[in-house]
């Protein structure tokens, strides 16, 4: 996958950061240097790299209190990179009739292929799609589009032998209005010369597209900046399509194109076949790049805050059913040592906060805090042998901790459920599970089993 190498170097920096005991200015500078090196090696424009590192530096200095310094730095780096490729809400949302998408780019960037891919993408979603061939420059271009269109059963509008793209637009304008989406494939050149600028400007004016996408191959390298700039000067680009993301290219040029055009990557091409296209999700992409979306990093952090010996001890207790509230409290303390629950869950693949109802995690976090408060009002005996906690004791505990009877009961219920789940697991499985447990709330236990 493209940018893998960039990802590897960035991951190393992030690991360095997470693994260090002290985050001081020197370390931050070191990390920034690492990131600069990684980005430049990946062909991201040098000026852009410096701009980015300056903003990272500035943001770290002015960062808000309340987070651990490490997390803050990781977050600043992460957010800066996400901003570089675009933030949320970038999906193309075709509306009404004749929603037009114009693809522009140089020779061989992947326009025609992308046009067909996009057509298939939208046809699968129930739209009526027309492909419009405006590459009047290369003789074989029309056939290529026709063939691709035929292979996916799309309607293709081409006018073979016509030399002027705007004439093609004029000819089919009326018919195109009947379609939900019109995807226009334009001509390229080896470089963006005056002729091409004039041509795409003209086409752009006539078509008046809702989306003008600049198609850039992932392997474009340092040329990206000048190219993106030229296209962006000629017409209003609304997004970037990065093709050949399946190759070995370094991909930094794509990041540069986004910065230059001030538009996000909207789609990526990941192969030669017509189905090889994906909507781009910057957060997921950068998470993957930084290795934040993988559980390994998370488990590493879990390991940091969980004492191996203690975990083993606890695992045994749980299996034998001797697990009590003292152990539970220790667990909860482990959770808070690792940072906030919402932050941790955002790092688990498939457990993004998006899936949870808004505020659910905050509620859960509050609950964990509340549980700790409840436990602080219990006697040692109650913590060790929760089974002795009867309704009289419950009332006393609620009163003493400033919580309600319902709160205390909820804690006890969750504790019992957990103990029940734990019984009968093998000690080895339990130990493995324990490491994971630190990041989950008790209800998630059931889901995990
Ligand atoms: N591997 C791979 N090849 C691609 C991708 N997109 C386009 N291509 C190839 O790139 C070459 C040029 O594509 P084409 O669509 O003709 O570019 P155009 O000149 O901009 O219209 C073709 O050989 C395509 O098969 C992609 O995402 N991955
Ligand atoms: Mg083409």
Asked if 205 and 143 sit in the same domain, the reply is: yes
Q: Which domain holds residue 253?
A: 99-286
Asked if 57 and 187 sit in the same domain, the reply is: no
Q: Given 66, 88, 110, which residue is the final one in a domain?
A: 88
Residue 129 or residue 246, greater confidence: 129
Please report which helix (H) or strand (E) contains residue 165, including its range. Answer: helix 165-176
pTM for the structure as a whole: 0.62
Asked if 191 and 262 sit in the same domain, the reply is: yes
Asked if 45 and 65 sit in the same domain, the reply is: yes
* 28-54 average pLDDT score: 83
Beta bridge partners of 182: 100, 130
Asked if 132 and 278 sit in the same domain, the reply is: yes
Q: How far is the CA of 166 from the centre of ligand 2 (A)?
A: 17
pLDDT at residue 341 greater than cutoff 60 = no
Asked if 10 and 135 sit in the same domain, the reply is: no
Residue nearest (by alpha carbon) to ligand 1 atom 10: 110
Q: Given 88, 115, 143, which residue is the final one in a domain?
A: 88
Residue 299 forms part of a structural domain:
yes
Please report which helix (H) or strand (E) contains residue 168, including its range. Answer: helix 165-176
Residue 378 or residue 74, greater confidence: 378
What is the per-residue pLDDT for 169?
93
Residue 94 forms part of a structural domain:
no
Asked if 428 and 337 sit in the same domain, the reply is: yes
β-strands 99-104, 211-217 pairing: parallel
The CA distance from 63 to 57, in Å, is 10
Counted domains in the chain: 3
Asked if 169 and 229 sit in the same domain, the reply is: yes
Asked if 158 and 75 sit in the same domain, the reply is: no
pLDDT at residue 349 greater than cutoff 50 = no
* 394-417 average pLDDT score: 90
Asked if 69 and 104 sit in the same domain, the reply is: no
* 354-370 average pLDDT score: 62
Q: How far is the CA of 138 from the centre of ligand 2 (A)?
A: 8
Residue 368 forms part of a structural domain:
yes
Task: Average the pLDDT over each of 81-90, 280-289, 306-315, 405-414 and give the range with the smallest value.
Answer: 306-315
Indicate if ligand 1 lies below 6 Å from the C-beta of 244. Answer: yes
Residue 93 forms part of a structural domain:
no
What number does the ligand 1 atom closest to the CA of 141 have? 21
What number does the ligand 1 atom closest to the CA of 117 have? 6
What is the per-residue pLDDT for 302?
46
Residue 376 forms part of a structural domain:
yes
Residue to mutate, 104, 113, 117, 158, ligand 1, most ligand atoms under 8 Å from C-beta: 113
pLDDT band at 354 (very low <50, low <70, confident <90, very high): very low
Q: Which long-range contacts (CB under 8 A, 24 or more apart) does 415-421 make?
A: 415/325, 415/328, 415/386, 415/442, 417/442, 417/445, 417/446, 418/323, 418/328, 418/442, 418/445, 419/318, 419/321, 419/323, 421/445, 421/446, 421/449
Residue 84 forms part of a structural domain:
yes
Residue 389 forms part of a structural domain:
yes
């Amino acid at each position: 996958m493209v940018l893998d190498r960039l990802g590897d170097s960035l991951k190393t920096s992030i690991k360095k950061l997470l693994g260090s005991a002290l985050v001081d200015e020197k370390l931050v500078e070191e990390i920034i240097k690492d990131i600069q090196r990684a980005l430049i090696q990946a062909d991201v424009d040098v000026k852009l790299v410096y701009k980015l590192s300056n903003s990272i530096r500035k943001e770290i200095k002015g960062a808000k209190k309340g987070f651990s310094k490490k997390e803050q730095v990781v977050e600043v780096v992460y957010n800066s990179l996400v901003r570089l490729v675009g933030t949320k809400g970038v999906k193309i949302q075709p509306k009404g009739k004749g929603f037009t998408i114009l693809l522009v780019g140089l020779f061989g960037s992947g326009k025609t292929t992308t046009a067909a891919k996009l057509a298939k993408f939208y046809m699968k979603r129930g739209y009526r799609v027309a492909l419009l061939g405006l590459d009047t420059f290369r003789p074989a271009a029309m056939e290529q589009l026709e063939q691709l269109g035929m292979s996916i059963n799309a309607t293709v509008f081409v006018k073979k032998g016509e030399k002027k793209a705007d004439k093609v637009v004029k000819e089919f304008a009326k018919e195109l209005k009947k379609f939900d989406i019109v995807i226009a494939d334009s001509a390229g050149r080896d470089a963006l010369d005056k002729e091409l600028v004039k041509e795409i400007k003209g086409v752009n004016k006539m078509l008046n597209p809702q989306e003008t996408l600049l198609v850039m191959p992932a392997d474009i390298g340092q040329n990206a900046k000048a190219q993106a700039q030229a296209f962006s000067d000629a017409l209003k680009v609304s997004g970037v399509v990065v093709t050949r993301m399946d190759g070995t290219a370094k991909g930094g040029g794509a990041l540069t194109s986004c910065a230059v055009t001030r538009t996000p990557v909207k789609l990526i091409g990941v192969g030669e076949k017509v189905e090889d296209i994906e909507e781009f999700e910057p957060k997921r992409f950068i998470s993957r790049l930084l290795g934040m979306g993988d559980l390994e990093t998370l488990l590493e952090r879990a390991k940091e805050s969980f004492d191996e010996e203690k975990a083993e001890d606890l695992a045994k207790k749980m299996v034998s059913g001797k697990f009590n509230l003292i152990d539970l409290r220790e667990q909860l303390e482990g959770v808070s040592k690792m940072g906030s629950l919402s932050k941790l869950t955002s790092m688990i693949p498939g457990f993004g906060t998006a899936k949870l109802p808004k505020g659910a995690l905050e509620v859960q976090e509050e609950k964990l805090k509340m549980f700790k408060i409840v436990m602080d009002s219990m006697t040692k005996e109650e913590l060790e042998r929760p089974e002795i906690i009867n309704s009289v004791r419950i009332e006393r505990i609620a009163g003493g901790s400033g919580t309600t009877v319902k709160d205390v009961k909820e804690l006890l219920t969750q504790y019992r459920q957990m103990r029940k789940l734990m019984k009968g697991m093998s000690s080895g499985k339990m130990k493995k599970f324990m490491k994971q447990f630190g990041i989950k709330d008790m209800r998630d236990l059931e889901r995990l089993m």
